[in-house]
Structure 1
Amino acid sequence: MNSATYLAGQLAKSFSRSLHERSAGLGFLPGQFPVLLELWNGDGLTQKDLLDRLDVEQATLANTLSRMERDGLIEREAHPNDRRKQVIRLTEKANAMREAAISAALEADDVLFAGFRRFERELMLEYIRRVIDNAGKA
Structure 2
Amino acid sequence: MNLDVLSTPGHLISLAARGFARLSEARLKPLGFGVGHLPVLVALQDGRASTQRDLARFAKIEQPPMAQMLARMERDGLIERAPDPTDRRSSRITLTEAAEARLPDAVAVLLRGNQEVLSGFTDGEVVLLVDLLTRLIANLDRLAAAEAPPATPVHEKD
Which one of the candidate residues 48, 53, 58 is aligned to 1:53? 58
Q: Which runs of 4+ in 1 moved over 4 A?
A: none
Q: Quote the Cα distance in structure 2 between the aligned partners of 1:57 and 1:110.
A: 31
Q: Indicate the residue corresponding to 1:136 in structure 2.
A: 141
TM, length-normalised to structure 2: 0.82
Unaligned runs of 5+ residues in structure 2 are 1-5, 144-158
Q: More deviation in 52-61 or 88-97? A: 52-61
TM, length-normalised to structure 1: 0.94
Q: Compare CA radii of gyration and give the structure with the larger one.
A: 2
Q: Quote the Cα distance in structure 2 between the aligned partners of 1:75 and 1:36.
A: 12
Q: Quote the Cα distance in structure 1 between the aligned partners of 2:55 and 2:49.
A: 10
Q: Which has the higher contact order (CA 8 A, sep 6+)?
A: 1
Residue 23 of structure 2 aligns with an amino acid whose one-letter code is S
Which one of the candidate residues 3, 16, 32 is aligned to 1:11? 16
| Deviation (angstroms), 1:108 | 1.5
State yes or no: 1:34 paired with 2:36: no
Instruction: Using the aligned pairs only, state the percent identity.
Output: 37
- 1:61-118 deviation line (CA, Å, top 9, x unaligned): 1111111111100011111110111111100011101210110110121122111111
User: Compared with structure 1, are the counterparts of its residues 9 and 74 closer, same or farther at alpha carbon in structure 2 (3 Å cutoff)?
Assistant: same
Unaligned runs of 5+ residues in structure 1 are none
Is the 2:43–2:55 contact (alpha carbons within 8 Å) kept by the matching residues of 1? yes
Q: Quote the Cα distance in structure 2 between the aligned partners of 1:133 and 1:96.
A: 33
